[in-house]
Amino acid sequence: MLLKRYSVVVDDEQTQPANVIERAVDLHAIHVTGSSGYQKCVEYLWKGRLIQDEEDASTFTEYKKMDRPYYWDHVHPDLMRAPIYQNATQILFSFIYLGLFSQVIATVNPSGEIDVIEVILYIFTFGFICDEASKLWKVGKNYIGFWNVFNVILYALLTTSLVVRFTALSHKPDDHKRKELNELSYKFLGIYLMKYS
């Protein structure tokens, strides 16, 4: 009932449909958000007991297999939309990304060649950039905040490092310019490391 969307008539015009959960947060209704029923509903959303309906994303249904003891009932694609699993997946990918970045910084290639770990790191970076761009596209300017700008700066540093690296590879292996550009590329990665830590 808390997740059913309703419209309100304001000045003889209907507002966008919203549910009680959204309205209570928007209106800072502490009495509503602090109630046990509200908290239980939010917990059910967080853990995936309530999931979006496949036909209509504006309605929510109970996930029937949540109490079953079988592993594959809990590794269902519908549950990946639950915030707890999205959060866990995001943390997992962040740790993998930090591990890749640490490996790239720890193993400097004096020859300037790009190794497999670096390729995977740049693929991850490209994926994160696409994720930020899609969220900005869907949400609009309201998505822009301090951490988003901070992430964009970090991704720009990594992208600059990659471009400088490719520029270094365009020179011959024994060329002094290749060595300079390779060192400059790692300096950009070092700036990234200082900002990220």
pLDDT tens per residue across all 197 residues of the chain: 667 777 778 888 887 877 777 777 777 878 877 888 888 888 888 887 877 777 776 677 777 777 777 777 777 777 777 888 888 888 999 899 989 888 887 777 767 677 888 889 889 989 999 988 998 888 888 888 898 888 888 888 888 888 888 888 888 877 888 788 888 887 777 765 555 44
| Pair 176, 104 in one domain | yes
| Beta carbons of 134 and 114 less than 8 angstroms apart | no
Residue 62 and residue 111 in one domain: no
At residue 192, the pLDDT reads 57
Residue 155 lies in a domain: yes
Identify whether residues 26 and 43 lie together within a single domain. Answer: yes
Whether residues 32 and 87 share a domain: the answer is no
The predicted model scores a pTM of 0.70
Number of helices (H) and strands (E), helices first, in the chain? 8, 4
Looking at the structure, tell me whether residues 60 and 91 fall in a common domain: no
95 forms beta bridges with none
Q: Are 46 and 86 found together in one domain?
A: no
Residues 133 and 172 in one domain: yes
Q: Which residue has the tokens 């997992």?
A: 92
Q: What is residue 96's predicted lDDT score, i.e. its pLDDT?
A: 93
Our count of domains for the chain comes to 2
Chain centre to alpha carbon of residue 132: 7
User: Domain range holding 28?
Assistant: 9-78
Q: Which residue has the tokens 């059910």?
A: 44
Assess whether 141 and 169 both reside in one domain: yes
In this structure, the answer to whether residues 131 and 184 fall within a common structural domain is: yes
Among 60, 78, 96, which residue terminates a domain?
78
pLDDT value for 2? 64
Q: Please check whether residue 1 lies inside any domain of the structure.
A: no
Domain boundary among 46, 78, 110: 78
Residues 158 and 143 occupy one common structural domain = yes
Asked, for residue 181, whether it belongs to a domain, the answer is yes
